[in-house]
Amino acid sequence: MLMHSDSFARYPSLRDRVVLITGGGSGIGAAMVEQFAWQGARVAFLDSVEQESRNLVKKLSSIAPLLFLACDLTDIADLRTCMKQVESQLGPVRVLVNNAASDDRHKLAEVTPEYWDERMAVNLRHYFFAIQAAVPGMTAAGGGSIINISSIAWMIPSTGLPAYVTAKAGIVGLTRTMAHELGASNIRVNAVLPGAILTERQRRLWWTPEYEAEVLARQCLKRALTPDEVARLVLFLAADDSSVITNQSYVIDGGWV
């Protein structure tokens, strides 16, 4: 993860703003936690992976206090409880980043109804219910920004993980309908669609020399893309600088699609 550089933008509107990020303990989520902390936001994040999350809180303790809550996002009651705790401790959420996901590979012939439902619960369902829980407080506070992390996986399209690809396409549909539902409350809803981002998980599980060569052959930019680069786009969409941008999907993939 890159540390903050003065060569990147500062957003005064994000200072002291309550930001909630799901899946913030690692990967792109952790990069967003760090970048929002550098902006002076009041950052909370939810994750089921406790040790990595607590390590992140410790790492960033000199920058800003963070609120981490262990949460099983597939358990909607647990999600609602955690979001109420965030509001009680920090105030109404003004920026919600729905990020948590899992791109586990799976073969078409081996997908059961139970596995399909579990993949939807991990990759799509909690996005809706996090929005539902955040909206009352966000509306009462005068509005806010919701950023849903999708993927270019459904645009390429990817193969070998059909449930994940379906969920990521569904996130774009959810984004569009929520933008229309919530616009009258001054709540903006946008999606961010990363390409091949070199996270530690990707490096550990999928980033072989062969895969890297394929990625670089398809991208316009001939280098690996980092979580921080995704995080900086999310900062802009969260800040007042993007105050009339809603109902949009932003691809950030080095020119793959």
Active-site entry in 115, 127, 164, 250: 164
In this structure, whether the domain defined by 13-252 belongs to CATH 3.30.420.40 is answered with no
Which element (helix H / strand E) includes 164?
helix 162-182
Q: Could you say which residues of the chain have pLDDT below 70?
A: 1-5
Domain extents in the chain: 13-252
| 164 has catalytic annotation | yes
| Res 7: pLDDT | 87
Are the C-beta atoms of 116 and 163 separated by less than 8 Å? yes
| Res 2: pLDDT | 42
Task: Determine the Cα–Cα distance for residues 15 and 134; give it in Å rounded to an integer.
Answer: 19
Q: Exposure of 244 by Cβ count < 10 A (0-12 exposed, 13-18 middle, 19+ buried)?
A: exposed
| Res 1: pLDDT | 43
Are the C-beta atoms of 87 and 137 separated by less than 8 Å? yes
Are the C-beta atoms of 249 and 168 separated by less than 8 Å? no
Residue 247: closest CA among 183, 201, 193, 200: 183
Please, how many CA atoms are within 13 Å of residue 141, restricted to the half-sphere of its CB?
Answer: 18
